[in-house]
Structure 1
Amino acid sequence: MSDLLLPTLLIATRNAHKTEEFAEMLAPFAEVVDLTDPDFENLPEIDETGTTFDENSLLKSASISKITGGITLADDSGLEVDALDGAPGIYSARYSGDNATDATNREKLLSELKDAPAPRTARFRCVLALTKNGQTLGTWSGALEGTIGFEEAGDAGFGYDPVFIPEGDTRTLAEYTADEKNAISHRGRAVEKLVAALRNGEVALG
């Protein structure tokens, strides 16, 4: 960990898939824990009442860091489909209702697009917010352009990965290795900007 840029970094999520991706991408720079860690598991759920990815990421990060007093990173991300006027957008995780799962969300998406011809353009979008004691240290965003396929393919990744085909490829993200995905993903691109800001001293951690 000679390149450590941060102390233990709390990710404001209970989504194991997201935490795994952050741990892989930030491994050289920070030690990652999330809200399932015994030290943080009793922290409250934060209602995502914002109307944009920016608002929700800041809301989650600031709310948690205000309680802990430490440095917290939050991610708000989702899928925007042009044929659906940008839906599911900020509602991507709960697109198919209160009891939504990745599978039911994909099923609803493909059903909504059943009459939409190719190319069914879309993008994954991510906004990261880093806060300390409830105060914003910085925000960074990333996006990945692509299209929505007509059927699922691949068994890696999570969320909408099995139906999302990155621009310039014929494979879905669920057919990528973890390293391939992290190198081009919306989250990976946002993390690159975060790391660059830390390296360049653009974030006042003190």
Structure 2
Amino acid sequence: MKLVLATSNKGKVREIKHIYEDMDVVAYSDIIEPFEIEENGSTFKENALIKARAVFEALHDKDVIVIADDSGISVDALGGEPGIYSARYAGVDASDKDNLYKLVDALKEKGLTSSKAHYTAAIAIVTKDAEFSIHGWMYGDVITEPRGENGFGYDPIFIPEGYKKTLGELDDETKKGLSHRSQALKHTKSVLRSISKHTI
């Protein structure tokens, strides 16, 4: 089964390919010129569907299956921020480090060195016949001292429940079993297999 990912984020592409080792996975930006998609939804689910629909339409291929992810981190002490704005928390063209340090600074401004937090991932599937959405979550704490070089985004400051290391310090195999995106993608796999049985 060939899946087209509605992302050009190398970290996400690598993670999804790692989980879907038995499938033919390609980033849409390897097929067509990347284009700007306005993520104007109010939830992770809405934004994931917006991305998947946009790429499906742009590919002009009715037989393709497009999956998109919208994910982010919500920090309790910051009232749930950055949430759906995680990828652009420090501005539209912000880097991962810019976003991370804005969150760190926001906690420090409150006199905190840590806070409860959770990641959310929404996966959208768009085909010629139907649309689906699946969610996954990961709970833990954020800290103000980044640790580890593994992963991307806010990984160096997030410690999953039951662990002492940040996601930036954990190996890929451990993260594969933990992450919000992994949880959502595993459930998505069942939906994709069901789709393939009905389209073959």
* TM-score, with length taken from structure 1: 0.89
| Residue 151 (1) aligns with residue 142 (2) | no
Instruction: Indicate which of 117, 129, 132 corresponds to 1:122.
Output: 117
Question: Residues 76-118 of structure 1, C-alpha deviation per residue, up to 9 Å, x if partnerless?
Answer: 0000011111110111011011221111111110100012546
Q: Which structure 2 residue ranges, 5 or more long, are not aligned?
A: none
Aligned 8 A contact 1:123 1:146 in 2: yes
Counterpart of 2:55 in structure 1 is: 64
Choose between structure 1 and 2: higher helix proportion. Answer: 2
The residue type paired with residue 84 of structure 2 is I
Instruction: Indicate which of 169, 172, 196 corresponds to 2:163.
Output: 169
Range with bigger deviation, 160-169 or 108-117? 108-117
Q: Which structure 1 residue ranges, 5 or more long, are not aligned?
A: 1-6
Aligned 8 A contact 1:137 1:205 in 2: no
Superposed, 1:48-87 pairs within 5 Å as: 48-68=39-59, 69=62, 70-87=64-81
Superposed, 1:174-185 pairs within 5 Å as: 174-185=168-179
Instruction: Indicate which of 82, 88, 92 corresponds to 1:88.
Output: 82
Counterpart of 1:35 in structure 2 is: 28
The residue type paired with residue 168 of structure 2 is A
| Residue 131 (1) aligns with residue 126 (2) | yes
Counterpart of 1:188 in structure 2 is: 182
| C-alpha separation in 2, matches of 1:45 and 1:193 | 28
Range with bigger deviation, 139-148 or 189-198? 189-198
Aligned 8 A contact 2:7 2:68 in 1: yes
Percent of residue pairs identical:
37
Aligned 8 A contact 1:66 1:132 in 2: no
| C-alpha separation in 1, matches of 2:105 and 2:43 | 25
Q: CA RMSD in A?
A: 1.7
Instruction: Indicate which of 20, 23, 36 corresponds to 1:26.
Output: 20
| Residue 14 (1) aligns with residue 44 (2) | no
The residue type paired with residue 98 of structure 2 is T
| C-alpha separation in 2, matches of 1:108 and 1:84 | 12
| Residue 46 (1) aligns with residue 37 (2) | yes
